[in-house]
C-alpha cells in the first residue's frame, strides 16, 4: 500500500487592505472544526530565516533595493518556507493555508515592478516546479479603496508606499492570472461586509475540500 499522503494547499492573494488576514483566521478556525490539521504560513516569512528576509524587504530604509533583488529575496524566503514548512506539511497530509505565495510575485514583481512573468516563472520552476496551490482565493477590490484602508493602519512599509499606478498593475496582473487559471483561482469581491465575504469563502472551501 502506498504511504504517500497528499495534503491540500490553499493560498490567499490580493492587494493591500483586502481583508485577507481576517478571512484567514476564520478559515483556519473553520477547517480545524471540520477535523483538519491546519498549518498556517505567510509570505514573505514563516520561518526564522524567511522572517529576516521579510524585514529586509519591508524596511523603508532599504529604498535602494532593486526590483530583481526584491524578486530574488521573495524566492529565497519562499524556498526556505517550502523546505521547512510547506513540503513537510503537505507530505503529512495537512491543509496548508498560506497568506500569499508565488502569484504575489507575478503580481507585485512581474506586474507592479514590471519585471514580467517570464522572470517569475523561471524562479518558480527552479524553486517549486513540483508544487502549486490547489486553491487560490483572490480577494479583489478597487485599488484606491485598499490603499485608503492601509493608510488607517499606521506606518506604511517599503511596498505599501508605492503609487496608485503600481497597485493598479498589481491588481491587473492578479486578475490576468486568475482568468488564465479558473480551476485554481476563485476571485472574491472583497469590497463587501466581512460576513458576506466569509459566507462565500466558506462555500468555496466546502466545494474545494468536499466538506
Among the listed residues 7, 11, 38, 42, the single contact to ligand TMP using CB under 6 A:
42
Please measure the distance between the N-terminal and C-terminal CA atoms of the chain and give it in whole angstroms.
Answer: 26
Is the separation of the CB atoms in 147 and 99 below 8 Å? Answer: no
Between CA 66 and CA 88 the distance in angstroms is: 32
Q: 161 to 200, contacts with ligand TMP by CB under 6 A?
A: none
The region of 97-105, 137-145, 177-185, 189-197 touching ligand TMP under the rule CB under 6 A is 97-105
User: Which residues, at least 6 apart from 18, have a Cβ–Cβ distance to it below 8 Å?
Assistant: 139, 140, 141, 146, 190
Per CB under 6 A, does 24 bind ligand TMP?
Answer: no
The region of 59-67, 101-109, 133-141, 185-193 touching ligand TMP under the rule CB under 6 A is 101-109
Per CB under 6 A, does 43 bind ligand TMP?
Answer: yes
The region of 23-31, 89-97, 103-111, 192-200 touching ligand TMP under the rule CB under 6 A is 103-111
User: Which residues, at least 6 apart from 45, have a Cβ–Cβ distance to it below 8 Å?
Assistant: 51, 53, 54, 77, 81
Residue ranges binding ligand TMP (CB under 6 A): 42-44, 74, 99-100, 104-105, 108-109, 159
Amino acid at each position: 500500500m502506498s504511504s504517500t499522503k497528499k495534503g491540500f494547499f490553499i493560498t490567499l492573494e490580493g492587494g493591500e487592505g483586502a481583508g485577507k488576514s481576517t478571512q484567514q483566521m476564520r478559515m483556519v478556525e473553520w477547517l480545524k472544526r471540520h477535523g483538519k490539521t491546519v498549518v498556517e504560513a505567510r509570505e514573505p516569512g514563516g520561518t526564522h530565516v524567511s522572517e529576516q528576509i521579510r524585514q529586509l524587504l519591508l524596511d523603508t530604509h532599504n529604498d535602494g533595493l532593486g526590483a530583481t533583488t526584491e524578486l530574488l529575496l521573495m524566492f529565497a524566503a519562499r524556498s526556505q518556507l517550502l523546505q521547512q514548512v510547506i513540503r513537510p506539511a503537505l507530505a503529512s497530509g495537512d491543509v496548508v493555508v498560506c497568506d500569499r505565495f508565488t502569484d504575489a510575485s507575478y503580481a507585485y514583481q512581474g506586474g507592479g515592478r514590471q519585471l514580467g512573468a517570464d522572470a517569475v516563472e523561471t524562479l518558480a520552476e527552479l524553486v517549486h516546479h513540483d508544487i502549486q496551490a490547489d486553491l487560490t482565493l483572490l480577494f479583489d477590490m478597487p485599488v484606491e479603496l485598499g490603499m485608503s484602508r492601509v493608510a488607517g493602519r499606521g506606518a506604511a512599509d517599503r511596498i505599501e508606499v508605492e503609487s496608485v499606478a503600481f497597485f493598479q498593475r498589481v491588481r491587473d496582473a492578479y486578475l490576468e492570472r486568475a482568468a488564465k487559471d479558473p480551476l485554481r483561482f476563485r476571485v472574491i469581491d472583497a469590497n463587501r461586509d466581512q460576513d458576506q465575504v466569509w459566507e462565500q469563502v466558506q462555500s468555496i472551501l466546502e466545494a474545494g475540500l468536499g466538506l
